[in-house]
Structure 1
């Protein structure tokens, strides 16, 4: 039986935040946006339909609850939720708070501009903000 591991490309681009009931929450290392990646802790899954119905429901609950909390906390204009997987096939969901005046608006954040890595203090602050949102969820 395969064990769950984060794809090395996701690991290289993120910082760990917390484990939710189903997913590992990761902070994307791009300070331009409040951006979390949720990765279901299920081995060898690349598509949502490969999860059980219960896991699919839990995934959607985690994504929508955390996304709503992030949009409110960061006073975003829009929340982008996406599962692409064209580069990293491991199932993961991006939650990105967007603003009508951000550098990529209205285009997607992927492949748009140059990511701005977090400075250490800035990353710690964003991490604490997101952990506060995660702690407030009723999952």
Structure 2
């Protein structure tokens, strides 16, 4: 994939996990939620419709399969999948596992409270779990 460079805000706010066929998988550094971000590995793309139809379908497959795997394996009540891009222009898709007991339920995760960065043990544990989930995907 050509000219791919991760937006500096995503670099600052996330931890790298793995690459799927289309997207880089990042862990949002906020321990309040299991929250991953998928970034298609293309340069200068800001909208889903800028991807080919095949890549649009691939992005949706990656997001929904990862969301389902997270909900099943990590235990959750709802999976939020969204591509907003109001702050970070680079196309990225949020996959957020929500629980009725989480810090901001049922409100959105954005603008509610302050992020709580992972400690090293929590980060390593969730990273290990996510890698196992990613290895089991059929994308």
Regarding TM over 0.5, the answer is yes
CA distance in 2, matches of 1:65, 1:85: 22
Normalised TM-score (structure 1): 0.97
Residue 32, structure 1, aligned to residue 32, structure 2: yes
Partner of 2:107: 107
Superposition deviation, residue 121 in structure 1 = 1.3
Q: What residue number does 2:57 align with? A: 57
Provide the residue aligned with 1:70 in structure 2: 70
Unaligned runs of 5+ in 2: none
With normalisation by structure 2, the TM-score equals 0.97
In 2, the alpha carbon distance for the partners of 1:104 and 1:63 equals 22
Q: CA deviation at 1:103?
A: 1.3
Q: Deviations over 1:64-94 (max 9, x none)?
A: 0001000111110000001110000100000
How many residues of Structure 1 are paired with residues of Structure 2 in the alignment? 138
Structure-1 separation of matches of 2:117 and 2:12: 12
Q: How big is the shift at 1:109?
A: 0.3
**Cα distance in 2, alignment partners of residues 111 and 98 from structure 1:** 16
Query: By how many angstroms is 1:114 displaced?
Result: 1.0
Match of 2:46 in 1: 46
